[in-house]
Amino acid sequence: MLSKEQIEEIREHLNKSQNPIFFFDNDCDGLMAFILLRRYIGRGKGVAIKSFPELDESYIRKIEEFNADYVFILDKPQVSKKFIDEVKQKNLPIVWIDHHDIEINLEFLNEKNVSYYNPVFSKQKSGEPTSYIAYNIAGNKKDLWLALSGCVADNFLPEFLGEVTKQYPELFSKSINSAFEILYETEFGKLIMMLSFALKDRTSNVVSMINILFTANSPFDILKEDEKNFKINKRYQQVSAVYSKLLEKAKIVARSPRKVIFFQYGGELSLSADLANELSYRFPGKVIIVAYIKGAIANVSVRGRVNVREITLKAINQIEDATGGGHEHATGAKLKVEDLPRFKEFFEREVERRS
């Protein structure tokens, strides 16, 4: 976990900012980190980062559009040098909060305008989700359910789980053994999936969803179907229909005796991370690789009990223009479609060698 001094430093940055912009990773952990910090200071604009694998210079226009005086980056392990340089030219401070285990570009951290915080590099070398860090910064007990949503989505059970289950017992099962059990077996998990799928919508609807979260008092403000959150529920149903069909197809593949399960698909929706997460829960003994194909590029999500981060990094080092990284048991990669067979074969060899 971040030190008390680091938490206080971040609070000082937040309180100093008058019109901050928050760039957050396009998942529930990143979203909740933003919501928690925004509810804490009551000001600022949020922008979901849809570029992969890094926050690139195309987002500079958002800083200009909102006339921001502070830049916060949440749950994003990679940021382009050009983005850092252009923010520096505008003489704006960057507060970058992350929890991924990555090789840090020391050149970035030596920039006077960049303040970087990551529990992976603390004395404990922990890796709590960004939403967990954001909750510790904001410290509002009323927001525990929001923090739990981000943590569970990132496969992490925080110490305050019991407080939320006591407050909303009807949304949880009687016994909880894992974060993904909450995600895939309970009503609280449905809430998280609703928010995750709502992020996969047009910008105006994402903004509408974020505005609802600014003032939501409980999970029921999202789960109930009413006029206010009609768009969230509608999007959930739309994406769920596509997701369920893909999941059933992927399950057929996953039932094979192979140790490495490879599933690829195309279309308008990028659901590789969602599919990989659920497949890893349903088939815990497998290494899961889900590739989303769009044009000549494949976005790949990998999950597994072996050190898939180490294997992923080795694989992309051997493939031209491939990028990626992540956590020990959950990674992402971006590569050319033509290189997918090499990526898959490398994993199969490595997993077999380590078995």
Same domain, 317 and 201: no
Measure CA of the first residue to CA of the last residue in the chain; give whole Å.
33
Same domain, 214 and 317: no
Q: pLDDT (tens digit, 9 = 90+) per residue, 31-79?
A: 999 999 999 999 999 999 988 788 999 999 999 999 999 999 999 999 9
Q: pLDDT (tens digit, 9 = 90+) per residue, 297-326?
A: 999 999 999 999 999 999 999 999 999 888
CATH number of the domain to which 288 belongs:
3.10.310.40
| Per-residue pLDDT at 106 | 63
Same domain, 265 and 302: yes
For residue 248, is it within any domain?
A: no
For residue 245, is it within any domain?
A: no
Same domain, 191 and 88: yes
Per the structure, the count of domains in the chain is: 2
Is 150:133 a contact under the CB 8 Å cutoff?
A: no
| Per-residue pLDDT at 103 | 72
Same domain, 333 and 215: no
Torsional sign, CA 97, 239, 273, 281: positive
CATH number of the domain to which 102 belongs:
3.90.1640.30
From residue 330, alpha-carbon distances to 160, 278, 327 in Å are 24, 12, 5
Pick the range with the lowest mean pLDDT from 15-19, 36-40, 122-126, 264-268: 122-126
Same domain, 128 and 229: yes
For residue 229, is it within any domain?
A: yes
The structure's pTM equals 0.95
3-state secondary structure of 287: strand
Q: State which residues form the domain around 310.
A: 256-354
| Per-residue pLDDT at 102 | 76
Mean pLDDT (the chain, rounded): 95
Q: How far apart are CA 170 and CA 167, in angstroms?
A: 9
What one-letter code names the amino acid at 177? N
Same domain, 187 and 132: yes
For residue 240, is it within any domain?
A: no
Same domain, 202 and 56: yes
For residue 250, is it within any domain?
A: no
